[in-house]
Amino acid sequence: MFILNSSSFPIDRLRDERFKFNCNLDVQFLLKQGQVEVDSGPFIHDFCDSILIHRGVVEDLNGSIRVFIYLVLLIFQVLLKLLLRQ
């Protein structure tokens, strides 16, 4: 019985290693220039802290920023007109 347990250990370990190898793959993404916003190091690009964000999310955020800036500029224009009247 002891021989069976000791011989099944390497099989279990090999099965676990095979599972990790099959599930832990490196995938290469080819992105167009201008669609990557990662601070590049001096020589090697380190993407370990990077995340992928859907393009629609970025476009929605940019739209919200444009609306905010437009409203701020409108407020400044109104304030400027009020100050110039006095």
**pLDDT tens by residue, 39-74:** 666 666 667 777 888 889 989 999 999 999 999 999
The pLDDT value given to residue 40: 66
The more confidently predicted of residues 83 and 86 is: 83
Band of residue 13 on the pLDDT scale cut at 50, 70, 90? confident
Residue 35 confidence (pLDDT) above 50 = yes
Give SS3 for 50: coil
Element spanning 60, H or E? helix 55-85
Q: Which residue has tokens 């011989």? A: 7
Which residues, other chains included, contact 45 with Cβ-Cβ below 8 Å and sequence gap of 6+?
38
Round to whole Å and give the CA distance between 78 and 85. Answer: 11
Q: Is 26 left (phi over 0), alpha (psi -120 to 50) or beta?
A: beta
The residue type found at 26 is D
pTM of the model: 0.50
Please give the radius of gyration of the chain, using alpha carbons only, rounded to the nearest integer.
Answer: 28
Q: Where are the domains of the chain?
A: 2-27+51-85
Residue 16 confidence (pLDDT) above 90 = no
Band of residue 83 on the pLDDT scale cut at 50, 70, 90? very high
